Homo-oligomer: A and B are copies of this chain.
Amino acid sequence: MTWQLKDFVLLLSPQGKRFLVQVEPRKFSTHLGELDLEQLTHIPQGGVIYTHKGVPFVTLKPTLYDFIHHLKRRTQIVYPKELGYILMRLGIGPGSRVIECGAGSGALTMTLAWWVRPTGCVYAYEREERFAHLCQENLVWAGLLEWVEIKVKDIETGFEEKEVDAVFLDVKTPWLYLPQAWDALKGGCVLGILVPTTNQVSEVLKALDNLPFTDIEVLEILLRRYKTVAERLRPQDRMVAHTGYLMFARKMLRKGD
């Protein structure tokens, strides 16, 4: 099966450099020569395309992981190692309605949108106009805007949705917005939070103590890559040591709620 017009293609150079492009009638310049992207319509998926200098690029099908690595970013993004775990914990799936607050460049927005398809919706709050724009741009690029409502809005006065299946906060002072998150959530459902410092974790824990949330969890995820040499297997020399602390809690009802 050959690539089609509009398809996304991950191009992999002999040295492992990656480009995420779309099949269209234009030239694409790399450090190893120029590629004619329209030519991809004659190349099978997984096949090789050559630059005008004769350098081969393998043509791969981009995954969500690749889209996230290639989005335009002007903020710290949530990384795949956390994204995957968030997915498992939030209790969402195809059809879910989920609020995300602090959309930033849209890595998490994109991930949630991908997985609530075809009938769910992500309500993506972002206070700063410029990040909301960037997030929207990234969603359009990835073809996922259809499942997202971006809202440029401070959440101090609360979210506009009720009875959502999950809420995720990726903001500087999440402890200030826990009551709003509680109001928006369905009973028994999950709130997720990402913060980079231990001081923030402590602040959130303190605030959670005074609210009807339960089943609180704090954790961090470390990912260690290995060099891929069969006879000399060993971890890579360096790794990312920290992105953030993940926190989860579930909404409970008090008597009378």
Contacts and interface: CB of A to CB of B under 8 A. Distances in A.
Interface of A: 1, 9-10, 12, 16, 44-48, 58-65, 68, 80-81, 83-95, 111, 114-115, 117-119, 163, 186-190, 196-199, 201-203, 205-206, 209, 214-242, 245, 250-253, 255, 257
A65 B221 CA distance: 16
Given A46-B251, A94-B94, A238-B239, 13 more contacts: A12-B214, A12-B215, A45-B253, A58-B252, A60-B252, A61-B187, A61-B189, A93-B114, A93-B115, A199-B202, A205-B228, A222-B222, A239-B239
A198 to B, nearest CB: 4
Contacts of A239: 238-239, 241
5 contacts: A44-B257, A46-B187, A60-B214, A60-B250, A202-B230
A255 B209 CA distance: 48
Contact of A202 (B62, B92, B223, B231): B231
Contact of A215 (B1, B60, B206, B235): B60
A226 B221 CA distance: 11
A187 B224 contact: no
B48 A63 contact: no
Nearest to A207: B230
A198 B200 CA distance: 11
